[in-house]
Structure 1
Amino acid sequence: MSALQGFTHLAASPAFTGALAVSAHDQGPGPVLRTVVIVALIGVPLTAWLLLRGYRKKG
């Protein structure tokens, strides 16, 4: 059974579709917090890369 078939079986479950219906109406903490999380997920690795780049040995 492929992963897609497993997902199709899960999507056909009434409990799963009910959870999707609840989450579709409940937007959660809002767009500001969502933006902060996305920026952090992108910014932390970028900052680490920039900082560690300076410690590379020139050689």
Structure 2
Amino acid sequence: MPDTAAAATADVAALLAAAADQGPGDTLRIVLLASIVGGVLLAWFLLRGYRTDGTDAPGGEDGTAGTGGNTGRDANA
């Protein structure tokens, strides 16, 4: 009958060696996380230019309809 302690030690050594050689897992996690953060920042940067602050909507705060944010000038000029 084989020695169970020696077999268990060999099994543990084999598991530790296999666990140390798992490939680029950490690197891929970092690349994936950086890509997601970069995508969110890029979307925020691009979409902030399309934000409306209410000044160019018809019917401004002063009650005039259809000024479109034109500050007192004729829109056709």
Tell me the TM-score range normalised by the shorter chain: 0.3 to 0.5
Q: TM-score normalized by structure 1?
A: 0.44
Q: Which has the larger radius of gyration?
A: 2
TM-score, normalising length: structure 2: 0.36
Higher relative contact order (CA 8 A, sep 6+): 2
Larger helix percent: 1
